[in-house]
Structure 1
Amino acid sequence: MRPRFSSGALVDRERGAAALPRKPADRAWRLALLALLLGTFLSRLPFLSTVPFNGDSVHYLLAMEAFDPAQARPHPPGYPLYVLSGKAARLVVGDPHQALVLLSVLASVVAVWGVVRLGAVMGSPAVGLWAGVLLAVNPMFWLHGELALPYAIEAAGAVLVALAAWESYTRLRARAAVWLALAVAVAGGFRPTVLTLLAPVFLFGLLRLGWRDRALALGVTGLAVLTWLVPLVVLSGGVGTYLELVRRQGEIAGGKTALLGGAVDGWVENFGLFLTTLLAAIHLVLLVALVALVRRRPRRISARAVMLWLWVAPAALTFALVHFGQIGYILLVVPPLLLLSLFAVAGAWPDVVASRRPAPVLVTCVIVSLVLSWAGLARLHDNEAAWRMVRAELATRPPAETVVLARVSEGGSFQTAVWVLREYRVVGLTGSESAARGALYEARGGDWSYRVDKEAIACRLVPLDGARRVAVLDDLLVGWVPDLTGWESIALPGGEPLLLRDVPPGATVVDLSRGTIAVVAGDASGC
């Protein structure tokens, strides 16, 4: 029989499950929730990152010093509430990087609480708790709860939006509509793409309201968005400049990966990254859910399933067909996929979820998550150790005597080096086998020449400006060195190399004109 969407009696039945238990029998559940939230918070503390995990972290850190989207401080469309919250957290912890990490830790706790609550009001307290446990130990969620990146915050914001949408859909109150409006607007201030990717969830929350309440919700959303959008546009140089910056960033981000844009090779790579990241995030849980669906195929599509798929589908299609730039993007769809999976399991095997004795299949899912989380945290540890070693090796001479060459392109270390090696002169190189190689950006002391511009011109010669030593980061750039004679090669944790060499007598430039890194005499006055 073809599944049907039911929103009448089904809503009343789901509304009956919407209230959390209130009697003494509820005490154990509340204690379990408290233990889960405390465990989520404490489990993050031993692994907190101390250096930026990737270039985007640096964009946010530099924005906390000087907000300028044209210089990718941060990159468009801008993250005003995230940067502002980072500044507030810095007043507490002092260090800007640790301030953003603190936000990620707190957001992790909020997201776990929100998923537990959402699972409870949509299904049962037991489903909520299992969803919270699986989210807390999820490898992608745990890793990004340790980083100076906004993806854990995005997950928390999405969960709160979904919770508000379900409340608005089932309670039919103006107050619920206002809370939904505020949740969407605030989540968008942290990460503006939420406004489009979660628009279907927002509209679902308004579906059963009267026109007056819908108008109220839309009006509150618009006014709340304007409170952060207007300052963002003004700080970007005005409406025209802001829209141009967003357009350029869209070209940079999606121009190489969008299927409809004709970038087939880039799209294949983008889709592969999305698929592997999704499988790593959901892993065994997905298999269990599929078996549960085969065992008990639902005859009706419930309202909760509709809302959860409206949460998943827009983001998943965007990531798969247009752009999936960071593995952290996946956190937008992990919570609803976990809830959908657990609802499927609860439908096929009610005792597996509701039993006080932990079900072996769900415990196995938790164990797999813990193993994958450990692997991700090990990668984080290697990244931290590598940058500590780089600093230690460079510290043998004054920073003014060393020029650092780093890769600009995706996965390169240039942007991280801008922050970690901020007292050094860092030059960002770009190019490939098929594209001319050259220097694209420079940075020192937190100032950099980065521009949101797809057509930025690379210079073939890098003036040494009196530097007496050259350092080369990244595997790719090491491959540009034709003869390692005279270079010292240092193996960093995780396998990345570091090359060092003294500047030969008479050398004045790093010459990239032949597609190699050559430290020679030359005239770079035109650069």
Structure 2
Amino acid sequence: MQGHLKSLISTVKSRNDLVVVLLLLVLVVATRLPLAGKFLYEWDSANFALALERYDILLHQPQPPGYILFVGVGKVFNQIFPDANTTLVFMSIMFSILTVILVYFLGKDLFSKKVAIIGSILLIFSPIFWFYGEIATIYPSESFLAILIAYTSYQAFKGRKSFLYISSLVLGLAGGFRQDLIPFMFPLWMFCLFYHDHHFKRVVTALAVLGVSILLWLVPSIILAPGLENYLHAGGHFSASFTTSSVLFGAPLSNHLLMDGLLFSWLMIGLGFIGGFLIVIFLIWKRKTLLDREMLKNPRLIFLGLWILPSLLFLIFVPLSKPGYTLTFLPALILILGYVVTGFSQNLGVKFNISPGKVVSALIIIYVLLNSVYFLYPYNLNEESTWETQIDHMNTTEKMILGLDLLFMYNQEKITINDQNTEWHLEVIGNLSQNRPQSTQIIIRDIIREDQGFSWRKAMYALPEYSVYYLFDSGNSQLKSNKLNNQVSAYYGKNHTFTISQSSALEIPINSSTERIVWIMDNRSPFFQELQSQLEIKTIHLPNGLNIYYSEVKGKKLDFEVGGFEFKTTNNPS
């Protein structure tokens, strides 16, 4: 009789879990799918799109270190969907669903079913998580892999021996999606591995499984580079990027503090404003309890701390430029927020003689409404003139708007504006060339906002039959890691491949068949002013305030120099 009762209870629990999971799935799909981005969102999105056609990290398809397993999964789904953006957005939604589901199951294990459900709902409506779940990007997969490592490691912590090896396999393979997951999640994995089990053979086996699972993606990555030297050299740009953001690598202190300010704002947005406020109140309210020696030994606190702190401390001391990096530990913060909301509801319920359930419902409704208004209200803070204008050429108002946009605006309108901007550029260029790619060359400079600006990478992906140049020099290298010293570089893209040239002066060949040049650049820059003195430039005004410039060059013999680049007509007809 007792056995039948246990079986019945287990069946009911499983069915209840299934219902919750299905409801969470529907909620994620309903909030993401209708609003998903229609075009590749940023420079890296184009890198991944190109990688689905041809994997080559030397060509930044995708950018180093390669993310080989992410691209591999993408190649599978790309056989189903009609284009790369749809494939990558589908993956973002899919990984968002899986992350939310694991938040539910891990929340049940760590705290309670109530905390698990609350945490899952809060994560769905977290603006940062919501934002990245609608665009072609890798960060939702990082969020999923992080919580998958945490979940499987926690099962090992609970004494489920098979999960010693499952968590080892997951940790190792996660590096094929995002390599930073291995060092960031390794302390948590080690804690769960050694907390109960000191059996030498099992520990060695777990470490061996980890090593082999890393080699499963690392060896193919090196072979495809091809070779270890090429693979290591391709990843050298990461350390260079730190020199502009981290004081530890020689960046100005002001830059470092600015980036830390951005990180703080992204965390507050990720927690949904009211969520960050509740956690701060909770930390002040419970500070004595949290600092108690016995509390500091609490395995759950250690578990969550080892999940959050490695990546958070890295971002504090070596700041990076996107809020997507916070998705590694955002699920952990959201679970803590779920626990905080539950605790507040119980205390407020007792104090004011209100049902704790009603308090929880009220807090969740407020959280969902505020975040939904923030995310869905079409408020266009991001001034378009800051997309393709160098900071040195911005007025004070534009600099303030750019700062506010980077700090606070990660919403649906940002995605919509990116789609509109891309669509308008493609339409105008198609009309100018009369859809004859050989008649038009595209030359791009001055892209500050690589997400919403019509960057060179987006152009070369969306317009593969056109000759597309990106001119890069010391005048348009603010916020860039690879600043040029007395040199210029030119990126030339066509048919989804490209070449790079760098020298003190470079020739930009204008083909004899070219009838016009389309210029995408800042009209306030000295480069543009000098160009305008050499060649007649016409202007097309876009509805968003940006301009597309072009010059009619049919039958003209060009031979002039601007900013280290020599524009010269050649006899090459293609």
Residue matched to 1:198: 185
State the distance in 1 between where 2:457 and 2:119 align.
36
Unaligned runs of at least 5 residues, structure 2: 1-8, 350-354, 378-410, 477-483
Indicate yes or no: 2:266 matched with 1:258.
no
Give the AA of the match of 2:299. A
State the distance in 1 between where 2:257 and 2:347 align.
42
CA displacement at 1:364 relative to structure 2: 1.6
* 1:40 equivalent among 28, 33, 38: 28
Q: 1:310 to 1:52 in 2, by over 3 A?
A: same
Q: 1:494 to 1:276 in 2, by over 3 A?
A: farther
Q: Secondary structure at the residue paired with 2:528?
A: coil
Cα deviation digits, residues 319-349 of structure 1 (max 9, x gap): 2222413231121121111112222333344
Residue matched to 2:302: 306
Indicate yes or no: 2:270 matched with 1:235.
no
Cα deviation digits, residues 76-96 of structure 1 (max 9, x gap): 111110111111001111323
Residue matched to 1:5: none
Residue matched to 1:416: 458
Indicate yes or no: 2:510 matched with 1:464.
yes
Q: 1:493 to 1:333 in 2, by over 3 A?
A: farther
* 1:448 equivalent among 498, 501, 506: 498
Q: Secondary structure at the residue paired with 1:53?
A: coil
State the distance in 1 between where 2:543 and 2:240 align.
31
Residues 383 and 494 in structure 1, CA contact (< 8 A), matched pair in contact too: no
Indicate yes or no: 2:257 matched with 1:222.
no
State the distance in 2 between where 1:366 and 1:31 align.
21
Indicate yes or no: 2:103 matched with 1:128.
no
Residues 445 and 522 in structure 2, CA contact (< 8 A), matched pair in contact too: no
What does residue range 126-525 of structure 1 map to in structure 2 within 5 Å?
126-170=114-158, 172-208=159-195, 209-210=197-198, 211-246=200-235, 248-264=236-252, 265-282=254-271, 283-297=273-287, 298=289, 299=292, 300-301=295-296, 302-350=298-346, 355-357=356-358, 358-374=360-376, 376-396=411-431, 397=433, 398-407=436-445, 411-412=449-450, 413-433=455-475, 438-450=488-500, 456-457=502-503, 459-466=505-512, 467-475=514-522, 480-482=527-529, 483=532, 486-492=536-542, 494-503=544-553, 506-508=556-558, 511-513=561-563
State the distance in 1 between where 2:66 and 2:567 align.
41
Q: Secondary structure at the residue paired with 2:249?
A: coil
Residues 123 and 343 in structure 1, CA contact (< 8 A), matched pair in contact too: yes
State the distance in 2 between where 1:352 and 1:100 align.
44
TM score, norm. by length of structure 1? 0.86
Give the AA of the match of 2:417. D
CA displacement at 1:162 relative to structure 2: 0.7
Q: Secondary structure at the residue paired with 2:469?
A: strand
Q: Secondary structure at the residue paired with 2:63?
A: coil
Cα deviation digits, residues 411-446 of structure 1 (max 9, x gap): 341111121222211111223448668452010110
CA displacement at 1:478 relative to structure 2: 6.5
State the distance in 2 between where 1:216 and 1:520 align.
62
State the distance in 1 between where 2:569 and 2:18 align.
71
Q: 1:514 to 1:131 in 2, by over 3 A?
A: same
Give the AA of the match of 1:194. L
Q: Secondary structure at the residue paired with 2:230?
A: helix
Q: 1:511 to 1:319 in 2, by over 3 A?
A: farther
CA displacement at 1:262 relative to structure 2: 0.8
State the distance in 2 between where 1:54 and 1:130 align.
32
State the distance in 1 between where 2:193 and 2:62 align.
33
Q: Secondary structure at the residue paired with 1:92?
A: coil
Residue matched to 1:4: none
Give the AA of the match of 2:84. P
Residues 540 and 547 in structure 2, CA contact (< 8 A), matched pair in contact too: yes
TM score, norm. by length of structure 2? 0.79
Cα deviation digits, residues 205-264 of structure 1 (max 9, x gap): 212222332222111111111111111111112223222222x22233323223211112
Q: 1:198 to 1:479 in 2, by over 3 A?
A: farther
Residues 104 and 145 in structure 1, CA contact (< 8 A), matched pair in contact too: yes
State the distance in 2 between where 1:174 and 1:460 align.
62
Give the AA of the match of 1:294. I
CA displacement at 1:73 relative to structure 2: 1.5
Residue matched to 2:81: 93
Q: 1:237 to 1:33 in 2, by over 3 A?
A: closer
Q: Percent identity?
A: 23
State the distance in 1 between where 2:569 and 2:524 align.
21
Residues 132 and 140 in structure 2, CA contact (< 8 A), matched pair in contact too: yes
State the distance in 2 between where 1:468 and 1:130 align.
60
Residue matched to 1:113: 101
Give the AA of the match of 2:519. V
Residues 127 and 270 in structure 2, CA contact (< 8 A), matched pair in contact too: yes
Query: 485-494 or 231-240: which moved more?
Result: 485-494
Q: 1:335 to 1:465 in 2, by over 3 A?
A: same
State the distance in 2 between where 1:445 and 1:61 align.
13
Residues 258 and 321 in structure 1, CA contact (< 8 A), matched pair in contact too: yes
Structure with more relative contact order (C-alpha pairs < 8 Å, separation 6 or more):
1
What's the RMSD between the two structures over aligned residues? 3.0
State the distance in 2 between where 1:292 and 1:514 align.
58
CA displacement at 1:100 relative to structure 2: 1.8
